[in-house]
């Protein structure tokens, strides 16, 4: 199957696929087994769980560009508490064997706040059933074990979320400037491209390059040059919208992705940034900083590399026209005179 998923989305779907297959096998087994052997009520409680997994697998295995499979993952976990807790009420079904797996799966797959509330409710209900089923002594042992697992799973989930956030920062942020890096760039451009194909919401990129940056390094040294780059990124992030993305493309070259922004609007943004930076007196060591920029608005049927190349061509023309200015991509249709 040919997939248009981004590398990040493909990795998430592959991991989800493995987890769903692990859940689908017991779900289908218990559904078929208990319906076949006369325990219709229990088999029917498992049917919605298996159905959610099947629907989720469908979205994972197709080229849908949304993330609806995550919704059905969560519905599966929340629905699974019904047969698990119901099985605890029946001496022959031994639902207590599956409570631990459900708790761990919820903490690892549900959003943190939802998992904390939902699992707390499941744990309290399971502990109550445990005392009713096993009596005081065995019920207490079961409760202590379940609470210990609850605390352990909660701690593991917290650590996993924190580490995932840290790894995401390391993987998608430039280590010096803290701007997004090229790895993040192509993922974001891919999303903008797919969003444009679905809803025709346009997007424009601004390719920027600091003018005469080599002179800064030669005059003040590379540590000051690094300060200038960090200062420049902070200015860009401060003077753009919260949902705009600033990327370090390489060296002193940067790219800004403006979602829902036309060429005309992006030109206005670029010019405001250019004037703001050129007139800012807070630059490291009083350096005079300007940049040149090229703009390119997304086009129907255009791949990401071509989109970037058009913006880079605009930047090339801005540089050769004298620097410290904004140019449109040469392939932009006539009619918009800057």
In tens, the pLDDT along 105-116 reads: 888 888 888 999
> What is the Cα–Cα distance from 206 to 102, expressed in whole angstroms?
47
33: pLDDT confidence band, cut at 50, 70 and 90? Answer: confident
The structure tokens listed for 249 are 């493309």
Would you say residue 102 has pLDDT above 80? yes
How wide is the angle at C-alpha 13 spanned by C-alphas 12 and 16, nearest 5°? 90
Summarised one tens digit per residue, pLDDT across range 124-177 is: 999 999 999 999 999 999 999 999 999 999 998 888 778 777 777 777 899 899
Would you say residue 308 has pLDDT above 90? yes
Which distant-in-sequence residues (6+ apart) come within 8 Å of 170 by Cβ?
Answer: none
Who wins on pLDDT, 332 or 335?
332
Cβ-count burial of 320 within 10 angstroms (0-12 exposed, 13-18 middle, 19+ buried)? exposed
Summarised one tens digit per residue, pLDDT across range 271-303 is: 999 999 999 988 888 888 999 999 999 999 889
> What is the Cα–Cα distance from 142 to 183, expressed in whole angstroms?
48
181: pLDDT confidence band, cut at 50, 70 and 90? Answer: very high
pTM: 0.65
pLDDT for residue 56: 86
In the chain, the domains with their CATH numbers are 7-172 (no CATH), 182-328 (3.30.70.270)
| Contact assessment for residue 220 and residue 287, using Cβ atoms and an 8 Å cutoff | yes
Q: Where are the alpha helices (DSSP H) in the chain?
A: 7-36, 40-60, 68-88, 96-109, 112-172, 182-199, 213-220, 222-239, 263-278, 304-320
The structure tokens listed for 182 are 């090229």
Task: Give the active site residues.
Answer: 252
pLDDT for residue 331: 53
Looking from the CA of 120 toward its CB, the CA atoms found within 13 Å total 6
Who wins on pLDDT, 220 or 3?
220
Summarised one tens digit per residue, pLDDT across range 254-276 is: 999 999 999 999 999 999 999 99
Would you say residue 338 has pLDDT above 50? no
CA terminus-to-terminus distance, the chain: 45
> What is the Cα–Cα distance from 46 to 29, expressed in whole angstroms?
10
């Amino acid at each position: 199957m040919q997939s248009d998923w981004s590398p990040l989305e493909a990795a998430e779907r592959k991991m989800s696929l493995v987890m769903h297959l692990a859940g689908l096998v017991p779900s289908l087994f218990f559904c078929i087994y208990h319906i076949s052997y006369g325990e219709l009520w229990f088999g029917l409680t498992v049917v919605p769980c298996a159905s959610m997994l099947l629907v989720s697998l469908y979205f994972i295995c197709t080229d849908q560009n949304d993330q609806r499979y995550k919704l059905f993952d969560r519905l599966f976990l929340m629905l699974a508490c019904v047969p698990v807790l119901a099985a605890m009420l029946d001496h022959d079904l031994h639902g207590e064997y599956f409570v631990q797996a459900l708790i761990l799966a919820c903490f690892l797959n549900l959003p943190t706040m939802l998992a904390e509330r939902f699992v707390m409710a499941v744990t309290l209900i399971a502990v109550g059933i445990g005392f009713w089923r096993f009596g005081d002594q065995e019920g207490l042992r079961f409760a202590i074990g379940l609470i210990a697992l609850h605390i352990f799973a909660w701690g593991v989930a917290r650590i996993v979320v924190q580490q995932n956030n840290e790894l995401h920062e390391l993987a998608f942020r430039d280590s010096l400037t803290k701007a997004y890096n090229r790895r993040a760039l192509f993922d974001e451009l891919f999303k903008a491209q797919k969003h444009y194909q679905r809803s025709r919401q346009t997007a424009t990129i601004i390719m920027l390059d600091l003018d005469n940056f080599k002179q800064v390094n030669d005059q003040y040294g590379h540590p000051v040059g690094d300060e200038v780059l960090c200062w420049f990124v902070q200015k860009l992030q401060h003077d753009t919208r919260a949902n705009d993305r600033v990327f370090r493309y390489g060296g002193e070259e940067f790219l800004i992705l403006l979602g829902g922004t036309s060429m005309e609007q992006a030109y206005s943004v670029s010019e405001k940034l250019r004037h703001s930076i050129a007139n800012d007196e807070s630059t490291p060591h009083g350096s005079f900083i300007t940049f040149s920029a090229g703009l390119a608005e997304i086009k129907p049927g255009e791949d990401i590399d071509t989109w970037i190349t058009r913006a880079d061509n605009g930047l090339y023309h801005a540089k050769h026209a004298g620097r410290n200015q904004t140019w449109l991509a040469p392939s932009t249709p006539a009619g918009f005179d800057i």
